[in-house]
Structure 1
Amino acid sequence: MSTTGPGIYNDIGKRARELLHQCYPPNSPSSNADKLFDINVDSRCQIRGAVPGLRVFSGLRFPLDGKVEMRYFHEYGGITAGMNLPAPDQPVLNCSAVAGFGNFSVGGHLFYDSSSGMFEQYNAACSFSTPTFMASFALNDKADAAKGSCYWSVIPKTAIAAEVNYRIFDNETAFTFGLQQVLFGGMSVKTRASSTGRISALIEQQLLPWFFISLSGDAIASDVTNGCVGISAFFMSSINNEERKSLSSSLGNEQLGADLSFRCSLFNAQPLQYIRAKFKSN
């Protein structure tokens, strides 16, 4: 959440989403029997301070998926407008707005496909948040999916989260529960379990103030050998303090700054038992 207001739409349910899903392997292995590993690269840049309350955000992922977005933050609301770039000549336009007062916020998000001339998706959500607790409810996928989540920082270094997803037209419900514990020396541990029988664990170590590395695993509870593992490296930097002062003074703007992040992840694309058999055959 933004420290000056309710933030933007993506901030609703963000803390629970990060605890339960960030840096874990994909939910299902690749269907390509000859592909042993998947590599994902995610880079993001946010420039702030050029205009009070306005930020420019850009993101690029590999396999290719790009985004450019303008974000405006206010004491009582936040607005975003931008485009996703699945293809240069067929951008998907998106906009969102969130309004909040005190501990409550509510917002909506629209996606417009310029190639088909139709709204590809529209979502709505609301949340209640405090410094240690957040609860949210969202209607996604054109009101076909309902999601509720909560996050609670039990004590300063321990947090728990829960999420329930309900597919309205299919009448399917799934639950996910997670726990995060911060240990000594910049190390943290996360675990999660879902009603579908999947269990996951992740260890993340901070090696430098701006560099993190994590090791994660995911498996079916009834057959742990049929699981996936992955490693992820995360670089995070904020241009501020002396660097920001030097840059902003040269441009005549004392508030100018930027946030940069880069994540590279390597996951095995096939169950572990398949990889062992593949290496033995070679």
Structure 2
Amino acid sequence: MGPGLYSDIGKKTRDLLNKDFNTDQKFTLTTYALNGAAITASSTMKNEAILGEIHTQLKQKNVTVDVKATSDSLLLTTFTLEGYGVPGLKKILTIPFPHQTAGKAEVQYLHDYAGITASFGLSSKPLVNLSGVFGNKAIAVGADVAYDTATGDFTKYNAGLSYTNTDLIAAVTLNNKGDSVTASYYHLVNPEKNTAVGAEVAHCLSRKESTVTFGAQHALDPSTTVKARYNSNGLTSALIQHEWRPKSFFTLSTEVDTKAFEKSPKVGLSLVLKP
């Protein structure tokens, strides 16, 4: 019921305009072991390359262990500890192999009037990231900064403001060290049909350039959803997603460059299977 984390500012609009729009071919299968561990195998064909990964997740009370192995020889292990005497507190430790120094420790704290995240790299001179959001479920303001202890410089400082109503969410963020401003809008038009519209305007101050993106979604029936988006660069995308059984989705998407019709449209397929 609180303001959430900094990453939640504008998330509803980003999901509407970006989530599930895919121009690759992707297959995902999830199964469950007898001890309750969820095992997910996925394969993505991107251009001429095939990328694969296996992800295992095991939950025991307040502890979650995630192990991910990718086709480029990376093993990523994440330990998540929630609660233990402090409601809303979450501790996360991520260890990659063979690049252990690229690991990260993170602490998240969610409150009715605040959401705070602090993280640092597991190296002698780590990158330290701190973000905070203050407010309530209606109005929230936050900031996100990163400090490189190796160079003594701030590599990132962003700020954001969001307003949330029953059916409307608006947000404004200042990113890229103050060089870009993004304003977003999300409106749930019909909750029964999951009909929503949204827009995002991103303006770069140094280049004096703006990109405008519009999007909409609508549920044709309880298991089938269509989405579409268009941006000022001429890219038009559309998708249809069907949930043919609980938590199992088939998604067909396409993207067309309206400023270069001589180019072939891109088509993406995604199949997600869960028993």
> TM-score of the superposition, structure 2-length normalised?
0.69
Please state how far the C-alpha of 1:231 moved relative to its aligned partner: 3.0
Is residue 216 of structure 1 aligned with residue 213 of structure 2? no
The structure-2 alpha-carbon separation of the partners of 1:177 and 1:35, relative to structure 1 and needing over 3 Å to count, comes to: closer
Please state how far the C-alpha of 1:201 moved relative to its aligned partner: 1.1
Give the counterpart of 1:52 among 73, 80, 87: 87
The structure-2 alpha-carbon separation of the partners of 1:219 and 1:117, relative to structure 1 and needing over 3 Å to count, comes to: farther
The DSSP-based 3-state class of the residue aligned with 1:17 is helix
Give the counterpart of 2:11 among 5, 11, 14: 14
CA contact (8 A) 1:8 1:98 kept: yes
Deviations for 1:54-92, whole angstroms, at most 9, x for unmatched residues? Answer: 12457899xx9976532111011100112478xx77753
Give the counterpart of 1:227 among 265, 271, 274: 265
Of Structure 1 and Structure 2, the greater helix share is in 1
Deviations for 1:230-275, whole angstroms, at most 9, x for unmatched residues? Answer: 23455799xxxxxxxxxxxxxxxxxxxxxxxxxxxxxxxxxxxxxx
Give the counterpart of 1:127 among 153, 162, 167: 162
Q: Which residue of 1 aligns with 2:26?
A: none
The structure-2 alpha-carbon separation of the partners of 1:15 and 1:142, relative to structure 1 and needing over 3 Å to count, comes to: same
The structure-2 alpha-carbon separation of the partners of 1:93 and 1:221, relative to structure 1 and needing over 3 Å to count, comes to: same
How do 1:241-252 residues align onto structure 2 when only pairs under 5 Å count? none
Q: Distance in 1 between matches of 2:266 and 2:124?
A: 36
Q: One-letter code of the match for 1:143?
A: G
Q: Distance in 2 between matches of 1:180 and 1:58?
A: 36
The structure-2 alpha-carbon separation of the partners of 1:233 and 1:117, relative to structure 1 and needing over 3 Å to count, comes to: farther
The DSSP-based 3-state class of the residue aligned with 1:193 is strand
Is residue 166 of structure 1 aligned with residue 203 of structure 2? yes
Relative contact order higher in (CA < 8 Å, ≥ 6 apart): 1
Please state how far the C-alpha of 1:98 moved relative to its aligned partner: 0.2
Q: Distance in 2 between matches of 1:229 and 1:90?
A: 44
Is residue 151 of structure 1 aligned with residue 163 of structure 2? no
The CA RMSD measured in Å over matched residues stands at: 3.3
Please state how far the C-alpha of 1:204 moved relative to its aligned partner: 2.1
Q: Distance in 2 between matches of 1:199 and 1:60?
A: 39
> TM-score of the superposition, structure 1-length normalised?
0.68
Structure 1 residues not aligned, in runs of 5+: 27-33, 238-282
Moved more, 117-126 or 46-55: 46-55
Q: Distance in 2 between matches of 1:24 and 1:102?
A: 29
The structure-2 alpha-carbon separation of the partners of 1:103 and 1:230, relative to structure 1 and needing over 3 Å to count, comes to: same
CA contact (8 A) 1:133 1:152 kept: yes
Q: Which residue of 1 aligns with 2:174?
A: 139
The structure-2 alpha-carbon separation of the partners of 1:169 and 1:90, relative to structure 1 and needing over 3 Å to count, comes to: same
Q: Which residue of 2 aligns with 1:74?
A: 111
Q: How many residues align?
A: 223
How do 1:171-182 residues align onto structure 2 when only pairs under 5 Å count? 171-182=208-219
Q: Which residue of 2 aligns with 1:101?
A: 136
Structure 2 residues not aligned, in runs of 5+: 24-45, 58-65, 67-79
Please state how far the C-alpha of 1:152 moved relative to its aligned partner: 0.1
Q: Distance in 1 between matches of 2:178 and 2:136?
A: 25
